[in-house]
């Protein structure tokens, strides 16, 4: 396990992923009924952008820092930026802290993190928080244990590090098993876009699951022709809330402009179904 998210915290890909995450979490508030959130690959919760590791790559510079310092209209990102700006200056929240910001008193959050040090940091962060449970356990194993949630309402974030060659396959299997247990949950899966071959295979495998509603979101900073480079960031949304695509697309188009990704593009497509 070599991957450490501190080297990438707040980069363009985190901004896209976490912005869409906040949109989906807001939707859960439309009903009073309690929900559970499961974050299968949680990381450490909050990242110091001034740390040696973060400054080594300086990826936040063309991500969150660019958005925060932009003079362009940022109204699309209001809710997301509200969560970011609640952190101490120079710190960026990861998915656990963003999810926690959307819990009401009746809701719960489950976090899985396998890296021993990251698990400890996360445990310290949520120490004594009765609504959050941190598990030192493989994220896919957690899904088997936790689904379906007792509330029968839930959101699942699957955000693996893609260190393993077969991660796309593992994702498809994980989603198959999870969907069998809990077909009404909203799932958001993150994946890297380097070149298109593995993505095409991934989409074909997802189609084979015969899940009625799957939306794909692609945000490219460059055409995907150099497989050694993170050219773009992708999201799979299972059971997307009604017309969410109409919120995501214009916001991501705006983000391309803010980031000055002049060769970039955004593409949303229904892999299965439509709404």
Ligand X SMILES: C[S@@+](CC[C@H](N)C(=O)[O-])C[C@H]1O[C@@H](n2cnc3c(N)ncnc32)[C@H](O)[C@@H]1O
Residues within the interface to ligand X (CB under 6 A): 1, 3, 5, 40-43, 94-95, 112-115, 118, 138-139, 159, 161
- What string of DSSP letters covers 28-72? HTTS-S--EEEESS-TTSEEETTSHHHHHH-GGGGTHHHHHT--S
Closest distance of CB 98 from ligand X, Å: 8
Interatomic CA distance for residues 215 and 39, integer angstroms: 19
Closest distance of CB 229 from ligand X, Å: 17
**Cβ nearer to ligand X, comparing 162 with 229:** 162
**Cβ nearer to ligand X, comparing 16 with 244:** 16
Place of tokens 């693996």: 160
Dihedral angle sign, alpha carbons of residues 62, 227, 46, 73: positive
**Cβ nearer to ligand X, comparing 162 with 265:** 162
**Cβ nearer to ligand X, comparing 59 with 118:** 118
Helices 12-28, 245-259: inter-axial angle, 10-degree rounding? 150
Question: 17, exposed or middle or buried, with CB in 10 Å at 0-12, 13-18, 19+?
Answer: buried
Interatomic CA distance for residues 114 and 138, integer angstroms: 6
> Minimal CA–CA distance to 156: which of 33, 34, 37?
37
Judge whether 268 and 245 are in contact, CB under 8 Å.
Answer: yes
Closest distance of CB 35 from ligand X, Å: 18
Active site residue: 14, 39, 118, 159, which one? 159
Strand partners, 269: 216
Closest distance of CB 273 from ligand X, Å: 26
Closest distance of CB 126 from ligand X, Å: 14
Torsion of CA 53, 58, 62, 64, to 10 degrees: 40
Active site residue 159: yes
**Cβ nearer to ligand X, comparing 79 with 265:** 79
Interatomic CA distance for residues 240 and 40, integer angstroms: 19
Give the CB-nearest residue to ligand X. Answer: 94
Q: Which residues are catalytic?
A: 159
């Amino acid at each position: 396990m070599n991957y450490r998210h501190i080297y990438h915290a707040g980069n363009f890909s985190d901004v896209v992923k976490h912005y869409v995450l906040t949109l989906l979490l807001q939707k859960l508030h439309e009903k009073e009924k309690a929900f559970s959130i499961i974050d299968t690959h949680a990381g450490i919760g909050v990242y110091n952008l001034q740390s040696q590791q973060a400054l080594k790559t300086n990826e936040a510079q063309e991500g969150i820092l660019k958005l925060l310092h932009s003079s362009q209209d940022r109204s699309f990102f209001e809710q997301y930026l509200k969560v970011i700006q609640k952190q101490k200056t120079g710190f960026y929240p990861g998915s656990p802290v963003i999810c926690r910001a959307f819990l009401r008193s009746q809701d719960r959050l489950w976090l899985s993190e396998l890296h021993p040090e990251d698990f400890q940091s996360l445990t310290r962060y949520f120490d004594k928080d009765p609504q959050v449970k941190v598990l030192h356990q493989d994220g896919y194993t957690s899904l088997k244990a936790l689904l379906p949630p007792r509330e029968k309402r839930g959101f699942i974030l699957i955000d693996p590090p893609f260190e393993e060659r077969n991660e796309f396959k593992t994702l498809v299997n994980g989603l198959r098993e999870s969907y069998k247990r809990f077909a009404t949950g909203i799932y958001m899966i993150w994946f890297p876009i380097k070149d298109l071959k593995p993505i095409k295979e991934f989409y074909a495998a997802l189609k084979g699951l015969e899940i009625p509603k799957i939306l794909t979101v692609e945000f490219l900073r460059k055409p995907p022709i150099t497989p050694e480079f993170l050219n773009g960031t992708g999201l799979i949304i299972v059971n997307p809330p009604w017309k969410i695509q109409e919120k995501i697309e214009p916001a991501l188009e705006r983000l391309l402009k803010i980031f000055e990704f002049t060769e970039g593009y955004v593409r949303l497509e229904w892999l299965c179904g439509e709404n």
